[in-house]
Amino acid sequence: MLPLAGPRVLLLVAVLEALMVGAILASPHAGEPDLRAAVRLTAAVSLVCFLLAFTAAPLARRWPGPGTRWLVANRRWLGLSFAASHAAHGVLLWRLATTTPGFTASVPLATKVAGALGFVIIAALAATSNDAAVRALGPRRWTALHTVGIHYLWIVFAATYAPQAAHSPFHAVLTVTLLAALALRWTSRPGHVPATAASALRSS
């Protein structure tokens, strides 16, 4: 059995998401509720991939081991899986906007602007998720781009789920998960982790 690593991670996520979306929209009578369900599904898949990439290094610093080493080794492919999933999310949103009267008008302008900027950032992060881009930009600028980019995307996810957390247990869980992921990143920076964990990570 081939190991699940590298491009196979992206392929697996893409295939599974395509199967799930296809199952939702396969009905000849699929309508707006089904399309909205597919939009929510792709958003959820995107969030999972994003959180795995977002927390890979902090988790490895805190709890070095085979699982967290796998996350770090495949962080780039998890990020690309997130980008691919969110591209599908964008296509479904576009389809919803073009087939549902009043949908576009119901979305606040700030949400449209923030979301559009989010897609631009995702495209930039995906386009620079390769060694050639690191060499071209230089490590410092590449790191700055990806650090700012992923934190902006964190804000977009939090702004999406947090306003409904008080009325929906599902949104409350997602909001708490996002906050925990951010806290993990901030408290697991180099120099902020226990010496034993940091030493284990360096030796792995």
Domain spans of the chain, in order of start: 7-203
pTM higher than the cut 0.75: yes
Of 12-16, 17-21, 98-102, 145-149, least confident by mean pLDDT is: 98-102
pLDDT at 174 over 90: yes
pLDDT at 189: 73
pLDDT by residue (tens digit) across 40-87?
A: 999 999 999 999 999 999 999 999 999 999 999 999 999 999 999 999
pLDDT at 191 over 60: no
Q: Percent of the chain having pLDDT more than 70?
A: 92
Six-digit token string for 163: 């306003």
Dihedral of the CA atoms 163, 82, 106, 170 (nearest 10)?
A: -40
Computed over every residue of the chain, the mean pLDDT equals 90
CA distance 182 to 122: 18
CA 71 to chain centre: 14
Let me know the angle formed at the C-alpha of 174 by 171 and 177, rounded to the nearest 5 degrees: 150
- Report the helix count and the strand count for the chain, using DSSP H and E: 10, 0
Q: What contacts 59, CB < 8 A, 6 or more positions away?
A: 68, 71, 184, 188
